[in-house]
Structure 1
Amino acid sequence: MLLVGAPTTLLAAPSALAQALDPGRARGADLGSLEQLMAQTLQGELGDEATARQLASHIADAGFRWEYPSFPVREAESVVAYSFGYRSATGKVDPRTGLSDGEETPEPGPINAMLADAVHAIRQVRDVPVYAQWEIAQILAEKYRMKDVFAIFPVKGADGRKTYLSTDGVAQAAVARAGTAQALGKVAVVGHRDHVKRCILVSRKNGMTAAAAAREVPLPVHYDPRSAQPWTRGREVYLLSDVIAQLTMAQARLITEASA
Structure 2
Amino acid sequence: MLLVGAPTTLLAAPSALAQALDPGRARGADLGSLEQLMAQTLQGELGDEATARQLASHIADAGFRWEYPSFPVREAESVVAYSFGYRSATGKVDPRTGLSDGEETPEAGPINAMLADAVHAIRQVRDVPVYAQWEIAQILAEKYRMKDVFAIFPVKGADGRKTYLSTDGVAQAAVARAGTAQALGKVAVVGHRDHVKRCILVSRKHGMTAAAAREVPLPVHYDPRSAQPWTRGREVYLLSDVIAQLTMAQARLITEASA
Same fold (TM over 0.5): yes
Instruction: Using the TM superposition, give the Cα deviation of residue 215 of structure 1 relative to its aligned residue in structure 2, in angstroms.
Output: 2.7
**Structure 2 CA distance for partners of 1:228 and 1:258, relative to 1, 3 Å:** same
Deviation per CA, 1:3-62, whole angstroms, max 9, x where unpaired? 999999999685322111100000000000000000000000000000000000000000
Instruction: Using the TM superposition, give the Cα deviation of residue 230 of structure 1 relative to its aligned residue in structure 2, in angstroms.
Output: 0.1
Instruction: Using the TM superposition, give the Cα deviation of residue 213 of structure 1 relative to its aligned residue in structure 2, in angstroms.
Output: 3.6
Structure 2 alignment gaps of length 5 or more:
none
Deviation per CA, 1:115-167, whole angstroms, max 9, x where unpaired? 00000000000000000000000000000000000000000001100000000
Q: Is the 8 A contact 2:78 2:130 kept in 1?
A: yes
Question: Greater shift after overlay, 165-174 or 12-21?
Answer: 12-21
Corresponding residue SS for 1:5: coil
**Structure 2 CA distance for partners of 1:6 and 1:233, relative to 1, 3 Å:** closer
Q: Is the 8 A contact 2:131 2:149 kept in 1?
A: yes
Partner of 1:227 in structure 2?
226
Structure 2: how far apart are the matches of 1:19 and 1:136? 39
Instruction: Using the TM superposition, give the Cα deviation of residue 96 of structure 1 relative to its aligned residue in structure 2, in angstroms.
Output: 0.5
**Number of matched residues?**
259
**Structure 2 CA distance for partners of 1:40 and 1:91, relative to 1, 3 Å:** same
Q: TM-score, normalised by structure 2?
A: 0.95
Q: Is the 8 A contact 2:14 2:26 kept in 1?
A: no
Corresponding residue SS for 1:12: coil
Corresponding residue SS for 1:189: strand
Structure 1 alignment gaps of length 5 or more:
none
Equivalence map 1:1-260=2 (5 Å): 14-209=14-209, 211-260=210-259
Corresponding residue SS for 2:100: coil
Corresponding residue SS for 1:6: coil
Corresponding residue SS for 2:226: coil
Deviation per CA, 1:167-186, whole angstroms, max 9, x where unpaired? 00000000000000000000
Structure 2: how far apart are the matches of 1:125 and 1:70? 16
Instruction: Using the TM superposition, give the Cα deviation of residue 212 of structure 1 relative to its aligned residue in structure 2, in angstroms.
Output: 3.6
**Structure 2 CA distance for partners of 1:133 and 1:14, relative to 1, 3 Å:** closer
**Structure 2 CA distance for partners of 1:138 and 1:46, relative to 1, 3 Å:** same
Structure 1: how far apart are the matches of 2:5 and 2:79? 53
